Structure 1
């Protein structure tokens, strides 16, 4: 019995050699998919924010001119020039950079989640295309079989062992299968267009699908511990760390700021007398301190950060519960698909035996073409269900690997 099945193991994580075509498509998708490129841009922006974090408050420069010149012992003052630079508390800039770094790491995890989801989408679309091709091959095989039955029926009509009605039934059944094949081809083209969209390439580029490969005899081992390392969970760990860094920064920003500056005042010479240091300019260094006396905003931020961490812990636990449930469901559905596939394979072998017996009866003139059609329809149904079971098995295997690897 021919099998039109492809092994559908998770694309990124454990490809067999015969799934190299799928790996090629995944590489194209990772390089060309605009959605993933948008995530890459977000990641680049987050990394650039690390450089942005290393900043100081604006340098203040001012100048003023005395309309009424104040007179000093050494001469009248003409103008004032000032410059001042404020500095945050010690460690504030470092804390700001650490926060930006953790946020960029969180963006990287988001990028990894998006990349893995894209891989899973590409694989699922690829598997569906392979299932369509398998079903088309099954239809072609059954059409060939019906043509053989038609020739037998025509021969039987000639010798009076069958009626023209039997031939018409066989021809009607062939037309039905041809119609199913055309419908399936349209579904294949629609799925191919969706597949090309994931790869961000022109529709109708063409897809290379491998030959049929049977379901593996044993399932790969499942690492449930790997579920805890899933990027969807690691994302919450990084966000939790970012809130911790934000709280450290908040405490540093709640500390005083200090500034250094200088005032320069040019002084004109006195003309009414001669004095030591007559007209000597004034240079006055300054030190300033900015104290956040009304610091309710910093206290409020601390409360918000604490509540945000609680929120992230609850969200992580909720997502973990969802992933565990998804893993259990995927394992169950994969095992059920394997069982279904095995039972259908046994049933199909029995159908083949019945078909062989009916054809042997043709030699004795006792063939019943109604039974032939019933057996052919049963065979087609079993083959299509086997294809669906195989697709389900490999899709669930891919999902299990996505969750645990």
Structure 2
């Protein structure tokens, strides 16, 4: 559901069934993209480190043999066995877990950000493919239109109302459009490779795009107020929190450590003597404490943490400024795309009216094929610009949704 919310822009598509196609492709990308898997593995590694720090220092064991056996009243000491365990100050281990856990939470935001970026990239590539196909369709229609004009020109040549030059010019124009069409086909193949690799599948897999996109007549709600909840900003909050946990851990580690130990000394019996403690082994429990008297290390760490928090706040503000700028630019570009689309629609309607007038002139035998080519060129320009306006509108919509949903 979280992924679907980010893709609200697919609702702009006129047919909801067609919109589901893009949504399903995005789900494939989220499941297969290696970059997402990379960030998920990093998060798992960071989470596993909690188990790593949930430990106490190694238990120390020692064995010593008296080369020169010291004599005691109860006998000579032969060898010594000792064991010692240092224990961190109260709640130090919990502080370590909290610190490592806070770093893992910051890593999780990397996954969220990467998924948002992947969704945006997949959608933008999809809209590029749509625009390419739409432009191909426009070129094919115009080539067919020119063939119709060519037939009319040949008929006019027969009755003396046009010259062979007019026919040749129409044919050359067809060749130019065919060249543009061939280039678009190659560009589609290249963009299809980009799209398929985002889904981590073979580059030759055929991508079928929707037949038609329209620009909605009304503007959608501006969600710029929720920009501060963007994962790119939340990551800084979690990093700030991790520094707080680092300082708490620093305070705990600057506390003393308590140690418990036990020494066992083997004592050999004294010969030719008979008394109660003859050869009695020595057992000595011990308690020790480790105090960081020279604690400049911990004081320096505290200063570093304070400076790091200031740096994070500055980085967050810098990122917020960039996101606000990017959002404002995307909103304005989308408005511009809508304006351009409306203008091209008006121009295209007028061009078709001019085309109809020329066709009526043909019926009276007064057609000027120079005007025909001029009108056809204008009509093609308006059609391609209209498709480009639609592409820009949806590209900007993906950026807006990346930032606000």
* TM-score by shorter chain over 0.5: yes
Provide the rounded CA distance (Å) in 1 between the counterparts of 2:5 and 2:90. 50
SS in 2 for 1:284: strand
1:12 matched to 2:45: no
How far is 1:14 from its partner?
4.8
SS in 1 for 2:93: helix
Q: 1:14 to 1:335 in 2, by over 3 A?
A: closer
1:303 matched to 2:298: no
Match of 1:388 in 2: 388
Match of 1:365 in 2: 365
Q: 1:11 to 1:171 in 2, by over 3 A?
A: farther
User: Aligned runs of 1:220-259 on 2, under 5 Å?
Assistant: 220-259=220-259
Provide the rounded CA distance (Å) in 1 between the counterparts of 2:268 and 2:10. 86
How far is 1:11 from its partner?
6.2
Match of 1:175 in 2: 175
Provide the rounded CA distance (Å) in 2 between the counterparts of 1:230 and 1:109. 10
Q: How many residues are treated as equivalent by the alignment? A: 397
Match of 2:340 in 1: 340
1:153 matched to 2:153: yes
User: Aligned runs of 1:195-214 on 2, under 5 Å?
Assistant: 195-214=195-214
SS in 1 for 2:63: strand
Measured against aligned partners, the alpha-carbon deviations of 1:222-267 in whole angstroms (never above 9, x if no partner) come to 2112101000000100000000000000000001111111001111
Q: 1:14 to 1:376 in 2, by over 3 A?
A: closer
Q: 1:63 to 1:341 in 2, by over 3 A?
A: same
**Which aligned segments of 4 or more residues in structure 1 are displaced greater than 4 angstroms?**
none
TM-score (ref. length: structure 2): 0.96
Provide the rounded CA distance (Å) in 1 between the counterparts of 2:263 and 2:359. 111
Question: Which runs of 5 or more structure 2 residues have no equivalent in the other structure?
Answer: none
1:91 matched to 2:91: yes
RMSD: 1.3
Question: Which runs of 5 or more structure 1 residues have no equivalent in the other structure?
Answer: 1-8
Moved more, 111-120 or 313-322: 111-120
8 A Cα contact 2:80 2:265, kept in partner: yes
Moved more, 344-353 or 15-24: 15-24
Match of 1:103 in 2: 103
TM-score (ref. length: structure 1): 0.96
Measured against aligned partners, the alpha-carbon deviations of 1:93-150 in whole angstroms (never above 9, x if no partner) come to 0000001111000000011111111111111111111111110000011111111111
Provide the rounded CA distance (Å) in 2 between the counterparts of 1:257 and 1:208. 67
How far is 1:334 from its partner?
0.4
8 A Cα contact 2:6 2:116, kept in partner: no
Provide the rounded CA distance (Å) in 1 between the counterparts of 2:313 and 2:124. 32
Provide the rounded CA distance (Å) in 2 between the counterparts of 1:214 and 1:195. 22
8 A Cα contact 1:166 1:369, kept in partner: yes
8 A Cα contact 1:63 1:79, kept in partner: yes
